[in-house]
Amino acid sequence: MTYGTDGELAMEKGFESVFPIDGVPPSSASIHLRCFKHLKWDMLAELKRLEQPKGKQNYIVRRILGGEFQGKRLKGLVDVEDGEFDKEWANIQKELPPAFSEWMKSTKGRIRSHMETICKCMLKSVRIHAGLGNPPNKFNNQRSKSTNNVVKEEAMRKETDQIHIHELIEERVVEDQRDELIKAIGCMGKYRLAEDFKGKAVSPSKWSQMTTEQRKEYTKKVLHMKQQNLGPRAQFACDVDFMSVPVSKCDLEDLPSAVVKDIWAQANIILEKYNVIQLENATFCVTEFDQSYTVKQTALTLYRCCCKLFMSTDGLCQHVVSVAEKMKALLEFLTHYREKKNKASRVMFQKVPIDAGEKPSSTRRINFSSFHFSWEDMNSIN
């Protein structure tokens, strides 16, 4: 998952609580990009407050964030290789006002210091891994298209709840990104598939020859690919078992053992790699790969999920299991699930149409010979 922010504390905390970053890629499961323009404005404002000459202000910003001169790139601190960061910062620090140097290291009102932000969210290697080219472009967050501004405008700049925010982001942000991803599958638009997915790209000529249904099915197949099947760099195998009830002792005889094992494996991945966030009104947001699912607690040990697997198993999926485990109620949840009546028949006939097995209704033929019309009747109709 790759996302960008403008440095707003609440937004950064919200994203990183769901999609945490562990450091410099490729070790990170997610990449957090920081807007260059917003950091530049913050730095200029601080230098102005310190009453530094305008020429020196621009020079310091250029030394840290780089710049352009006569169409050529001027490298800054953000463009050094990973192992050269500390050495380059030591050289730059000699030219900085002491108060500005301390401001760069301060965490007051921020999720981390500006120095750590540059290292984790703006460095050359981070931007390359995020797909911004090589040499990489700078990430800039256009205010009119930022997630923060989209949510504020849709909510009429009034207070709103977290569930509504999730729905807004899904509709106004995620769907737009999905459209760009579909274009990338057909080698169109401004983006291209990442290295692990390149084998699934289709040439524009082949894409144009596919029917609408073929495009839809192929896109669905690519969008639902799981990263653990893409190669060693994207493996998500868990070394630790987080489940309080092992899959061998869950005693779910109504479901195929392979389905149950897969649910337990996926729930384990969620608990180790992703997040279960408790929202308001007994609602949970479960993140899995690049998607999120809403789980609603309907009773003490009863949960309802929005995913298809929950419906096809009559109440069991990795999202519900991970929430139950997070709430330390997995054993009670499984006990209640086993006691459901007619569960096997509901699972078996989940996708069977209601009218399956019925004889097709026969249309009654009308015998027009039994009707008698007179000229008076016809005249009355006219």
In this structure, what DSSP letter does residue 137 have? Answer: P
Average pLDDT over residues 61-88: 85
Which of the four pLDDT bands, split at 50, 70 and 90, describes residue 34?
very high
Range of lowest pLDDT (65-69, 155-159, 240-244): 155-159
Task: Find out whether 76 and 64 touch, Cβ atoms under 8 Å.
Answer: yes
**Quick one: pLDDT at residue 181?**
83
DSSP codes, 278-315: E-STTEEEEEETTEEEEEEEEETTEEEESSHHHHHTTS
Average pLDDT over residues 156-173: 74
pTM of the model as a whole: 0.47
pLDDT at 248 exceeding the cut of 90:
no
Q: Round to whole Å and give the CA distance between 280 and 270.
A: 21
Average pLDDT over residues 317-344: 84
**Quick one: pLDDT at residue 145?**
55
**Quick one: pLDDT at residue 241?**
72
pLDDT at 60 exceeding the cut of 90:
yes
Average pLDDT over residues 136-147: 71
**Quick one: pLDDT at residue 98?**
93
Task: Dihedral sign for Cα 94, 98, 103, 107, please.
Answer: positive
**Quick one: pLDDT at residue 381?**
47
Task: Find out whether 60 and 2 touch, Cβ atoms under 8 Å.
Answer: no
Task: Dihedral sign for Cα 46, 49, 53, 55, please.
Answer: positive
**Quick one: pLDDT at residue 69?**
67
pLDDT at 337 exceeding the cut of 90:
no
pLDDT at 301 exceeding the cut of 80:
no
Long-range pairs, 130-137, Cβ under 8 A, ≥24? 130/2, 130/25, 130/31, 130/33, 131/2, 131/191, 131/192, 131/194, 135/73, 135/79
**Quick one: pLDDT at residue 362?**
52
Q: Of 139-153, 224-238, 364-378, which one has max mean pLDDT?
A: 139-153
pLDDT at 26 exceeding the cut of 70:
no
Structure tokens at 360: 């097709």
pLDDT digits (tens, 9 = 90+) for 270-294: 888 788 888 888 899 888 876 788 8
**Quick one: pLDDT at residue 62?**
92
Tell me how crowded residue 282 is: count the other CB atoms within 10 A of its CB. Answer: 12
Which of the four pLDDT bands, split at 50, 70 and 90, describes residue 225?
low
Tell me the pLDDT of the chain averaged across its residues. 79
Tell me how crowded residue 164 is: count the other CB atoms within 10 A of its CB. Answer: 12
